[in-house]
Amino acid sequence: MAPLDSRPFSTFFRSGPTLTPPPLVLASTSKYRAELLSRLRVPFQTAAPQVDESPLPGENTHDIALRLAEAKARAVASRFPDALIIGSDQVADLDGQPIGKPGTRERAVAQLQAVSGKSVVFHTALALFNAATGRLQIRVVPTTVSFRQLGAQSIHRYLDLEPAFDCAGSAKSEGLGIALIAALEGSDPNALVGLPLIALTDMLLAENYPVLE
């Protein structure tokens, strides 16, 4: 009897001419998510999903993020019928209530006052939709952020130096905002910025997408 071949099963599909991987589409206009995805050094394009992000009655923050990540991925599928489409959404939870992007300095000050000395859970949902097969992979990667006690002077000084008006929680953990944070708890630091790259790599590999090959 011939010995069993110990090569990974997926290699049998890569013998002979190299197959062209499907297009990769990021269903987002977020510059933060695009920068994160570029770290994987795979070709991709972006597309703006037209999705109503209003929460449904009684919907918790975890479920809001999960639903919107899937909705964003599916929203652009008709434009990219052969693509792997990435959808992502993040909802921050403070004492059971969602907090969004402040948009203005006044709201950012109010947010930082509200999170001072408290913990906020950032639910970052990720969806990978194979438009060609209809297969959906979806996951939520939570990150708990514990904020320091923040005085008015520190809050205003921070916003002078880094006006994080487009970030839920009003602080950029990848920048000076880390000085406002006492502790982080999560499985992927990229999730807090907006795109869980560890989970995304798992999903791409499950689709036989050659991330490092």
- High-pLDDT (> 70) share of the chain, %: 92
For 153-203, the pLDDT digits (tens) are 999 999 999 999 999 999 999 999 999 999 999 999 999 999 999 999 999
pLDDT digits (tens, 9 = 90+) for 103-146: 999 999 999 999 999 999 999 999 999 999 999 999 999 999 99
Q: Whole-number mean pLDDT of the chain?
A: 91
Instruction: Tokens 């190299």: give the residue.
Output: 18
Fold for domain 23-206?
A: Maf protein (3.90.950)
Active site residue 166: no
C-alpha to C-alpha distance for 51 and 48, rounded to whole angstroms: 9
Q: Which of 5, 52, 63, 89 is catalytic?
A: 89
Dihedral sign of CA atoms 107, 110, 116, 121 in order = negative
Q: What is the pTM of this model?
A: 0.87
pLDDT of residue 17: 44
Q: How far is CA 152 from the centre of its chain?
A: 30
Q: What is d(CA 37, CA 117) in angstroms, rounded to the nearest whole number?
A: 32
- Report the first-to-last Cα separation within the chain, whole angstroms: 32
Query: What is the predicted pLDDT for the residue at 29?
Result: 94
List, in sequence order, every residue forming a beta bridge with 13; answer none if it has no partner: none
